[in-house]
Amino acid sequence: MGATGHLGSRLVPQLLARDHQVAVLVRDGTQATLFPTNVMVHVGDAKDPRAVRKALTGNDVVYFLVHSLDRPDFAEADREAAAVLATAAEKAEVRQIVYVGGPRPDSPAPSAHLASRAEVGDVLAAGRVPALVLQASMAIGNGSTSFELLRSSVRLTPWVAVPSWMNNTSWPVADTDVVHFLVAAADLAEPVDGVFDVRGPEQLSYLELVQRCARVLRLPVRLPVPAPVWSHKLAAWAAGLVTPVAAGVAESLFESLDHDLPSDGRPVTDVLPAPPGGMTSVDNAIRAATTPEADKTGGEVFTEERTVLTDASPEDVWRTVNALGGKDGWHTIPLVWTVRGAIDHLLGGIGLYRGRAPEVGEGDVVDFWTVVHRDDEAKRLVLRADMKMPGHTVLDMRVDREGGRTRYRQKITFTADGFLGQLYWVAQKPLHDVVFATMARGIVRKASTA
């Protein structure tokens, strides 16, 4: 149920790919054309007991992905649909119910949206059929209402209103990871009854999420503007004008930002396997949900390489390299990157975004760089600069041994974009050499004091 929604439309093809037989319940018969011919399509209302029971007959697992946020009585509608499902699942001898809801804030008065999500989970859990209730914060993916609201706002305005609730935090998760767990639930050896958290790898405030989205989209840092009277209704009205999300839906979502959304319950990995390679980073989730820009290529290539030997262990040097950016900085001349970032911002670039995930991998952002490659075994990290410049810059850092000492190698490769790019390289070369030489020495000095 909910097969035409954001998660459901991604779940169905994944189940089919694993040779599961799939049946769906849709309200409108014309929606049958959305599914392959090997999907059994039932037409009916999710609140109609007969239609629901007919759709469930012969099925082992039922997914409840219904969400009526686009109607004013969404809480009542979803509660009724959940009660119908719980009863029908028992009569149809379904062995497992799977539901995706939201986190439960530690608040005596949660928003209507979050309260409804929790209530639906409780209704399903109270039934006799085991219910696997998954609690997830914002699902980052193309078509997710919450993410569309975020992405559209970031793209359309160079500033961001910052009422107090923008500092509340959550654990956003890639929609591909949520779908992974939904698919895995179909293969459970035994039914599972309980509530589990589907948590992304990083806790971010909503303001940090706005800036992270802008950074991945290669947009300048959004200018924070204090907004003590920026109510949810006003924010929703503005969103309704400039985003594809209806004002009524946006208001319900904004109201949920009044709470920190914790993820301190039982992790879903207690009962379901984690995605291959682990949970998707926030940066890569945002990137996968947007159209990537093509990288600049071609032109004359300039390189500059330096090596520093140290008595610090390779592990300490590698740890320092992996912590570059964000609060740890770049161990170079103070304020030099701040000035460069300010210039880039004035030119319409990303500016000096000071932020990064605790652990970064390929595709993640580190301030004004993007991770191109990371190899922990070979101790190599490759970053691509994303500031505006007439060319393409790559920073390649490696750590290995030379004799009985540790060698840190740092290589800059600049691919010039025509004659202007060549002039740029020559003009900035003197300062460039000082900045990156200082950085190389600063990295090994930091590692030596670790």
Domains and CATH numbers, the chain: 8-288 (3.40.50.720), 301-448 (3.30.530.20)
Tell me the C-alpha distance between 61 and 94, whole Å: 6
Cα–chain center distance at 244 = 20
List, in order, residues 6 or more apart from 54 with CB less than 8 Å away. 42, 44
- pLDDT tens, residue by residue, 401-424: 888 899 999 999 998 887 888 889
Nearest CA-CA partner of 322 in 447, 217, 206, 425 = 447
Tell me the C-alpha distance between 432 and 438, whole Å: 10
Spans of the chain below 50 pLDDT: 292-297
Counting Cβ atoms within 10 Å, is residue 354 exposed (0-12), middle (13-18) or buried (19+)? middle
Tokens of 153: 């706002």
CB atoms < 10 A from the CB of 197, how many? Answer: 22
Q: What is the pLDDT of residue 294?
A: 38
Q: What is the pLDDT of residue 374?
A: 92
- pLDDT tens, residue by residue, 335-370: 888 888 888 888 888 887 778 888 899 989 999 899
In what helix (H) or strand (E) does residue 443 lie, and over which residues does it extend?
Answer: helix 418-448
CA dihedral 168, 169, 175, 181 (to 10 degrees): -130
